[in-house]
Structure 1
Amino acid sequence: MWLGPAAVLAAAALLVTGCSSSDKGSGSSTAVGAATTAPAPSTNDQLEQNYQQVISQVLPSVVQITAGDSLGSGIVYDDKGDIVTNAHVVGSAQNFTVTLANSTKPLDATLVGSYPQSDLAVIRLSSPPGGLKPATFADSSKVAVGQITLAMGSPLGLSSSVTEGIVSAVGRTVSEPASSGSGGATIGNMVQTSAAINPGNSGGALVNLSSQVIGINTLTAVDPELGNSAAPGIGFAIPAVTVTGIADQLISSGKVTNSGRAALGVTVRPFFSTNFQPAGAAIVSVVSGGPAASAGLQAGDVITGINGTAITSPAVLTTALAAFSPGDKVTVAYQRDGQNQNADVTLGTL
């Protein structure tokens, strides 16, 4: 569940590990004065040491962000004072206070740029202190199901908190709930983790055991049967490749010109059948020279499917497109004057 700017979220999970029993003697005595050998470290001891090493290397890169009444987390992106976080953490604010992991003194920061379509933003410390430690971001293509992850952030205002989990799935397409009167972002290629999501962790780091950030913790799934409360063990993080791609553009120009996300080049509205059921996405306008226009689609057409996936609303269309990349070729099913037709479209960039 995405709880919005007032209750920001991130990913954290509990990994249950088995306890190994210690070796015991068989009852035979040991000769007095015989040399004794310290037992070899157990697997659990080694894993604990790995955790501690990762925490010592990455936690200094994770900060706490206060935006008005909202609280979230962020990751030091470079030594110039740029910090990457979720767009829903910064909301509409322009000024922030940031607390580093190794300090209790709040630092002032201002907005560099926000890209709500991918729920990412960058803020910058007004007077960056020396010794900032930028995080290292992983190659997202190497993230695999079963990898151990550590989540770092400020859940419920508890700064510099660390929890553990695993990668549960990759390549998920997730839609955030609407907030403040606007539609929530639909984000593709997200990392799913066995994470307990808590307010305040959004924008924090999901880290592998190589001390690399594999994603920014963002939201949790909800269970409608439990009144839309958080579903235990199902959390999502924006992958590192998306984070770095968007952050680099925001830092260099304050805006995003290449989102890496697919688009048809149309503006759409809901379309309903004669019995008032959602039945497609009606095209209101087409970008001249864009993917849809080049394939012959025009205003008034009703998109009903993409590559066999039924499209019943603009939201479903957005979710479907999030699973593709610019340059992908798809078959768009549509209706024109009541007749069903198909068009092959090479997707552009959002």
Structure 2
Amino acid sequence: MTHGRYERRGPRPVRRLWVVLLAAGLLAAGCAGGGAGAQEEDAQAEREAPAGDVSPVAEVARRIEPSVVQVNVSSIQTSPYGPQEAQGLGSGVVYREDGYVITNNHVVEGADTVNVAFADGSVEKGEVVGGDPYTDIAVVKVDRVNLPAAEFADSGDLVVGQLAVAAGSPSGFQSTVTSGIISGLNREIPPEITGGSQQSALVDLIQTDAAISPGSSGGALVDRTGSVIGINVAYLPPAQTGAVNLGFAIPSATATDVADAIIEDGRAEHPYVGVSLIDLTPEIARRFDVSVESGAIVTGVDPDGPASDAGIEPGGVVTAVEGEKITSTGDLLAALRRHDPGDSVELTVAREGEAREFTVELEGKG
């Protein structure tokens, strides 16, 4: 980045190869039902809206606006011309009234200075408490109390078709609100899309057609009550995908769990199996004469990791976790994240036409 340039911290365009792979993954992914019921709820909300043509979205915007902030960052980077200042921005959500703000890890990673701009026009210096590259969640602390903390809803109760409102600072336009619906659940995207440093794909994401743009990263995705159901993290550029309004958010349950761990310990710990994985597709299965058509292929095993201790070897295909069917690496990661380090989980692994059960004691990794 060049001196004085203000970079909007948001998802970077993804190369076409990743777009093709991602598109295939999305077509194969399941989504929850209930769209008709959610649409009826939206209609009911419209009928019950206050007088004066105030729409449900306007009421949601009024409730969430004080809790959404702009996160301005800067860093000193080396270049052939010497040290240069790089600047960027993203969004955040006030998590606790005693000064804690949730944002995306890719917004604040590598930042030397962080400033948080509130909806009331005030600005406070922020300190990065910690960040988690696996989930792309980070926590920033400001020296201020009595902040307008947002209410976080249970993201496990979401249904496709329900109202979704995104709030953030796209392109630096603070307190911008867009609306749409939840378009899908349990989505997966590779790390290249966020521009972050996480090693694995982001999984269990909420898909929405509410517009999410560069600078929206770290902002709020909220429901009809104004409660946060997700933290905005990425979008797919229409110029590369040929599709519009493909935005993604990290579920609130994941965001708050990770934020709590960061606030308490400075880091989040995740269950570690000790395997390298790729998706098994029907094409790969036919090419290599694999006995199953979907799952997560074990391409490598950490010799000192729990999978090795359990007897899992490269070449097997993980098809289930605790009896829950696994069709991709994203499914496996999502299933494992529902467990804690120290838990024992049963993995079903297919190899040479046979399925075997392996009990793996998860380790922690942060």
Structures share a fold, TM > 0.5? yes
Using the TM superposition, give the Cα deviation of residue 306 of structure 1 relative to its aligned residue in structure 2, in angstroms.
3.0
Look up the match of 1:343.
356
RMSD (CA atoms): 3.5
From 198, 211, 215, the counterpart of 2:213 = 198
Larger Rg belongs to: 1
1:133 alignment partner, one of 136, 142, 148: 148
Deviation at 1:174, TM superposition (A): 2.6
Q: 1:31 — aligned with what? A: none
Match of 2:273 in 1: 264
The equivalences for 1:9-158 within 5 A come to: 9=11, 48-68=54-74, 69-103=87-121, 105-125=122-142, 127-128=143-144, 130-158=145-173
1:330 aligned partner = 347
Residues in 2 aligned to 1:239 and 1:180: alpha-carbon distance in whole angstroms: 19
2:166 is paired with a residue whose SS is strand
Letter in structure 2 aligned against 1:322: L
* Cα pair 1:152 1:205 within 8 Å, conserved: yes
What's the offset of the Cα at 1:95? 2.8
Instruction: Name the structure 1 match of 2:251.
Output: 239
2:233 is matched with which residue?
A: 218
Pair 70,214 (structure 1): closer, same or farther in 2 beyond 3 Å = same
- Does the aligned pair in 2 maintain the 1:94–1:110 contact within 8 Å? no
Query: Which runs of 5 or more residues in structure 2 are unaligned?
Result: 1-6, 13-45, 75-86, 291-296
Secondary structure of 2:253's match? Answer: helix
Alpha carbons of 1:185 and 1:201: their partners in 2 closer, same or farther (altered >3 Å)? farther
Query: Which amino acid in 2 is paired with 1:107?
Result: E
Shift of residue 171, structure 1, vs aligned partner: 1.9
- CA deviations on 1:193-246 (whole Å, 9 max, x unpaired) are 1132211000000011111000001111356xx4357x3122111001001100
Secondary structure class of the residue paired with 2:71: strand
Q: Does 1:162 align with 2:177?
A: yes
Shift of 1:107: 1.4
Residue number in structure 2 paired with 1:188: 203
Q: CA deviation at 1:163?
A: 0.9
Change (3 A) 1:192 1:79: same
User: Secondary structure in 2 aligned to 1:77?
Assistant: strand
In the alignment, structure 1 segments of 5+ residues that lack a partner are 11-40, 311-315
Contact 1:90 1:121 survives alignment (8 Å): yes
- Preserved CA contact (<8 Å) 1:112 1:251: yes
Higher RCO by CA contacts (8 Å cutoff, separation 6 or greater) = 1
| Rounded Cα–Cα distance in structure 1 between residues aligned with 2:195 and 2:254 | 25
Q: Relative to structure 1, is the Cα distance of residues 251 and 42 closer, same or farther in structure 2, using a 3 angstrom cutoff?
A: closer
Higher helix share: 2
1:65-105 C-alpha deviation (Å, 9 max, x unpaired): 011112100001111211100111112225301100111x4
User: Which secondary structure state, in structure 2, belongs to the residue aligned with residue 282 of structure 1?
Assistant: strand
Closer, same or farther: CA 159–147 of 1 in aligned 2, 3 Å: same
What is the Cα deviation at residue 328 of structure 1? 5.3
How far 1:45 moved relative to its partner?
A: 6.5
Q: Take 1:101 and 1:216, find their aligned partners in 2: how far apart are those partners?
A: 18
Hey, what's the Cα distance between the residues in 2 that align with 1:250 and 1:341?
Answer: 42
**Shift in CA distance, 79/45, structure 1 to aligned 2, threshold 3 Å:** closer
Report the counterpart of residue 186 of structure 2 in structure 1: 171
- Aligned residues of 2:326 and 2:332 also touching (Cα < 8 A): no
Residues 44-78 of structure 1, C-alpha deviation per residue, up to 9 Å, x if partnerless?
Answer: 76673433332222110000001111210000111
Residues paired across the two proteins, number: 291
Q: Tell me whether 159-168 or 214-223 shows the greater mean CA deviation.
A: 214-223
Matched-pair contact (CA < 8 Å) for 1:119–1:185: no
Deviations 1:165-211 (A, max 9, x none): 11111222332317779565422221111132211000000011111
